[in-house]
Structure 1
Amino acid sequence: MNVEANKVVSFHYVVSDGGGEPVDSSRERGEPLSVLIGHGNIIPGLEKALLGRAVGDRFEVVVQPADAYGERRANFTQRVPKKYFEHPEHLKPGMSTVLNTREAGPRMVVVHKIGSSVIDVDLNHPLAGKTLTFDVEITAIRDASEEEVAHRHAHGAGGHEH
């Protein structure tokens, strides 16, 4: 079985941003990532690199910013009331956190400045503008269930739980 649309693929990955040091790794968490292919659940450049691969394939792929988190946008900041953050008292300038938005759902942001009632954040993803290198090992491929296709994401181990 090969990776294609509406298959759930599980894979380990290590990603670096050109600085040589990994910025994220599924191996550190011990579980592979599981995603439903063809539904925009991972960055486009990585999803394209997975297509046609099989269990046991191990490869490296370099993904340019346009196929990852996009180019950095100057002055792409917003002032957000503290009530929209989980545990705002723990945040410090330079930290990454998730901000839940109405339009785009969860969004990774970087804290710039903390005021008494608001937090200024950079809306660029922390990896925006960076060329990413992924070391990938495919561990499993299976047909997606009708429910997974309807929900547009993988369920179960390594995927999303409801």
Structure 2
Amino acid sequence: MKIENNKVVQIKYVLTDAEGNQLDASGDEPLAYLHGNHNLIPGLEAELTGKETGDKFTATIPAAEAYGEKQDHLIQSGVPKEMFQGVEEFEIGMRFEAQSEQGFHSVMITEILDETVTVDGNHEMAGMDLTFAIEVVDVRDATEEEISHGHAHGVGGHHHD
């Protein structure tokens, strides 16, 4: 069975950056997702289309097709430390949920000065070309419920209440 829209696909993957450093991996349990519903980054979903159970391949997804390019307007310097209530120690790489007109988003501290910090609201993998080593473990038809919810249910997508 080929991967196409409204198939539940299980994949094992290892994700590395341009230097070959491992960023993420599926581990023992494959990742189950509903194809064609934007549950994966666009470039990866495009690469998986038409593949079948047992296929193994490597794909490098350019940043624009992954988490996007770094956007300068999401980086804010000069944020007063007192805006972070209850935080005693600041460290590079700390993540916070920040609220803006667009709702909540995650920001990471990238610079610490005496009174202020710089925060970056870009996805931590923005601006990066990502390489996936993929193994397609299983492909099956999605249930009507999965299609209506827009995602796979449970391991291999079986729904348990």
Question: What is the total number of aligned residue pairs between the two structures?
Answer: 154
Q: Which residue of 2 aligns with 1:141?
A: 139
Matched, 1:31 2:32: no
The aligned runs of 1:11-160 (5 Å cut-off) are 11-27=11-27, 30-77=28-75, 92-95=91-94, 97=95, 99=97, 108-112=106-110, 121-157=119-155
Against the structure 1 CA distance between its residues 98 and 11, is the aligned structure 2 distance closer, same or farther, given a 3 Å change threshold? farther
Against the structure 1 CA distance between its residues 33 and 98, is the aligned structure 2 distance closer, same or farther, given a 3 Å change threshold? farther
Where structure 1 has 5 or more consecutive residues not aligned to the other structure, the ranges are: none
Against the structure 1 CA distance between its residues 59 and 161, is the aligned structure 2 distance closer, same or farther, given a 3 Å change threshold? farther
Shift of 1:94: 1.1
Indicate the RMSD between aligned Cα atoms, in angstroms: 3.4
My pick for the range that moved more, 101-110 or 50-59, is 101-110
How high is the TM-score relative to the length of structure 1? 0.77
Q: Which residue of 1 aligns with 2:10?
A: 10
Where structure 2 has 5 or more consecutive residues not aligned to the other structure, the ranges are: none
- Secondary structure, in 3 states, of the residue corresponding to 1:66? helix
Against the structure 1 CA distance between its residues 64 and 93, is the aligned structure 2 distance closer, same or farther, given a 3 Å change threshold? same
Note if contact 2:70-2:127 (Cα within 8 Å) is conserved in structure 1.
Answer: yes
Note if contact 2:98-2:107 (Cα within 8 Å) is conserved in structure 1.
Answer: no
Q: Which AA in structure 2 matches 1:5? A: N
Shift of 1:120: 5.9
- Secondary structure, in 3 states, of the residue corresponding to 2:67? coil
How high is the TM-score relative to the length of structure 2? 0.78
Against the structure 1 CA distance between its residues 26 and 54, is the aligned structure 2 distance closer, same or farther, given a 3 Å change threshold? same
Q: Which AA in structure 1 matches 2:4? A: E
Cα distance between partner residues in 1 of 2:128 and 2:41: 13
Q: Which AA in structure 2 matches 1:24? A: D
Shift of 1:72: 0.4
Cα distance between partner residues in 2 of 1:2 and 1:152: 19
Note if contact 1:31-1:158 (Cα within 8 Å) is conserved in structure 2.
Answer: no
Against the structure 1 CA distance between its residues 88 and 51, is the aligned structure 2 distance closer, same or farther, given a 3 Å change threshold? farther
Larger Rg: 2
Against the structure 1 CA distance between its residues 124 and 23, is the aligned structure 2 distance closer, same or farther, given a 3 Å change threshold? same
